[in-house]
Amino acid sequence: MTSLAALIMGLAACAPQTANTPPQGATGNAPAAPAAAPGGATSINGAGASAPSLLYQRWFQEYNKKNPGVQISYDSVGSGAGVKRFIDQTVDFGASDDPLKDEDRSKVPSDRGKAVQVPSTGLFIVMGYNAPGLTDLKLTREALCGIVDGSIKSWDDPKIKANNPSAPSQPLTFVHRSDGSGTTAIFTNHIKAACPNWKAGAGKSVEWPTGTGGKGNEGVTAQIQQTAGAIGYIEYSFAKENNIATASLQNKAGEFIAPTPESAAKAFVGATVPADFAMKVPDPEGKEAYPIAGLTYLLLYENPKDPAKAKAFNEFVKWAYSDGKAFATELGFIPLPEDLSTKAAAALETVKVAGK
């Protein structure tokens, strides 16, 4: 097991980049491109979590510039659908923000061997909102719980108004995911820990007591943008990309913490990562820690159908752990610290490539 305290130092060393400026390190040495398939490039396809999709698409584009013989496509369908496609073998790799459960692992066809699960990056979930005239929203744990359980129905509810005097007298609409979602799993694990009266449990899908649904982080983001009075949970990069206002959340220590990569990285301080990397930090202890953060994962087959594709994808992942960190920082994700990415790269060696 390994500590994630190194995330803080790593973030401090990585200055954010503007979207139009190539980040430092982006032109570093990428692995040599695997031999292209006869008549064209090596084409690899995957599907799953929407939370890291902005980063994945950027990674695939940048890697292809260095390695034109490798083309990677990704379908942002949500973690639940991604795990299903992985089990059904309709993709070369899957992706999920929620670690694989034993039940899922048991469904992987035996001729594919064991599922190999490696983290790709750290991420965090924010409460994006669209309440005209309200800026710098601060939500206590009680207010957050009231929003998700439906007991708070208006923006000027006393639980919100107490810390936000400019909260408008307007109906509040909670927006949640309608599909199976690792983002939901990370969010509801926090809600379960923070809200004493929460009855819906935690996981990729729950029976929400209130609100309206959107498919993928993309769908929830659109609902927030289009609905005056809306508030919902999305991965930070979607709020950043779409200029959506986000709330400071009260953490376990009682502090209001604004969502930033730096404050989210502090959620991992002192945490340990199991051998299968299935780490959860539902309610971090740190005084300066943003309270809703987690890792997101790539899902691979121990015995892939096409070893050459698997080898090509493994080389891409190793690039993502090195040169790719600059793009993770630029987009607002939390790059894996070196000790964790080294262990994850070693886990890739369990995938049988090139007919081994």
The model carries a pTM of 0.89
Instruction: Note the pLDDT of residue 41.
Output: 85
Q: Report d(CA 180, CA 80) in Å as an integer.
A: 4
What number does CATH give the domain 124-273+280-293?
3.40.190.10
Structure tokens at 131: 């309440």
List phi, psi (to 5°) of 154: -140, 150
Domain 2-123+294-348 belongs to what topology?
D-Maltodextrin-Binding Protein; domain 2 (3.40.190)
**CA end-to-end span of the chain, whole Å?**
28
Is the predicted pLDDT of residue 221 greater than 70, yes or no?
Answer: yes
DSSP 189-239: HHHHHH-TT--S--SSS---SS-EEESHHHHHHHHHHHSTTEEEEEEHHHH
Instruction: Note the pLDDT of residue 355.
Output: 58
Of 140, 160, 340, 352, nearest in space to 255 by CA: 140
* 204 alpha-carbon distance from chain centroid: 13
Whether 124-273+280-293 and 2-123+294-348 are alike in CATH topology: the answer is yes
What are the domain boundaries of the chain?
2-123+294-348, 124-273+280-293
Q: Which residues contact 278 (CB under 8 A, 6 or more apart)?
A: 99, 100, 117
Mean per-residue pLDDT, 63-83: 97
Is the predicted pLDDT of residue 281 greater than 80, yes or no?
Answer: yes
Is the predicted pLDDT of residue 286 greater than 90, yes or no?
Answer: yes
Angle at 55 between CA 54 and CA 57, to 5 degrees: 70
Is the predicted pLDDT of residue 69 greater than 50, yes or no?
Answer: yes
Of 151, 186, 173, nearest in space to 225 by CA: 173
Q: Among all chains, which residue has been given the structure tokens 């005084």?
A: 287
Mean per-residue pLDDT, 38-52: 88
Is the predicted pLDDT of residue 79 greater than 50, yes or no?
Answer: yes
Q: What is the dihedral of CA 239, 240, 243, 246, to 10 degrees?
A: 50
Instruction: Report the relative pairing of strands 173-177 and 248-250 from DSSP bridges.
Output: unpaired
pLDDT digits (tens, 9 = 90+) for 321-341: 999 999 999 999 999 999 999
Is the predicted pLDDT of residue 17 greater than 70, yes or no?
Answer: no
